[in-house]
Amino acid sequence: MRLSRLVLPLTILAALVVAPGVASGQEPAAGTAPAAAAQPRVKPSLRIIGAVTARRDLSLTDLRALPQQTQTVTYAASGTPVTATFTGPSLTDVLASAGLRTDPAVKNDSLRFAVLAIASDGYQAVVSAGEVDPGFGGTQSLVALTQDGTPLAQPRLTVPGDAKGGRYVSDLATLRVYDLGR
């Protein structure tokens, strides 16, 4: 039997072991994220999917191996100003490791792209490729790995310049890349 024929049954078997509630057809309560998404992840990692040249599953070690940036930002959380220092790779570098599926023959192709940051609690926010591009918005978004010197269990998106903290997505699990023109 070829290896590829084994992968799907093994994946289903793993899903049955890891998420018996899901396998038995239990529905999450209305208005909440699926139960499986709220579980602590066995191996913290950041998944990059969508309009990329290669899907990636980056471990914290992979993310630490990229050039690290530091920034101090202020944003309002429920009306109260928060000032925090974050370190981690730039969103641009993280996305480059998967490669946006752009077409160099199309003028400013990347300006059609956007990234949906999805947290493990189901919280989501979008950042466009143009706003983080140094030649356009120039927002230095990070995939932060530490906050005020403390390592984060899961990465956190930063969006310096945002007045409110809503796009500082904590417990980042997935970056889903969209080409909105297709």
Ligand X SMILES: Nc1nc2c(c(=O)[nH]1)N[C@H]1C(S)=C(S)[C@@H](COP(=O)(O)O)O[C@H]1N2
Give CA–CA dist 64/92, Å, rounded. Answer: 14
Specify whether the CB–CB gap between 153 and 64 falls below 8 A: no
Return the one option of ligand X, Mo ion, none that residue 119 interacts with (CB less than 5 to 8 A, by type): ligand X
CB of residue 150 vs ligand X: minimum separation in angstroms? Answer: 12
- C-alpha to C-alpha distance for 78 and 62, rounded to whole angstroms: 33
Please tell me the distance from the alpha carbon of residue 182 to that of residue 179, in angstroms, as a whole number: 6
Residue closer to Mo ion by CB (options 47, 167) is: 167
Q: Does 144 bind ligand X (CB under 6 A)?
A: no
Buried b (16+ CB within 10 A) or exposed e, 26-61: eeeeeeeeeeebeeeeeebbbbbebbbeeebebebe
Token pair listed for 121 = 């609690």
Judged by CB under 6 A, the number of residues near ligand X is 12
Among 165, 174, 175, 179, binds ligand X (CB under 6 A): 165
CB-wise, 44 or 165, nearer to ligand X?
165
Rounded to the nearest angstrom, the gap between the alpha carbon of residue 76 and the centroid of all alpha carbons in its chain is: 22
From the CB of 3, what's the least distance to ligand X, in Å?
A: 36
Q: Residues 137-176: x/- map of binding to Mo ion (CB under 5 A)?
A: -----------------------------x----------
Q: How far is the CB of 78 from Mo ion (least distance, A)?
A: 6
Q: Is 128 in the site for ligand X (CB under 6 A)?
A: no
Q: Nearer to Mo ion by C-beta: 138 or 166?
A: 166
Tokens of 115: 């990234």
- 15: helix, coil or strand? helix
Q: Is 123 in the site for ligand X (CB under 6 A)?
A: yes
Q: Which residues bind ligand X (CB under 6 A)?
A: 77, 82, 119, 121, 123, 164-166, 168-171
Q: Where on the chain is the footprint of Mo ion (CB under 5 A)?
A: 166
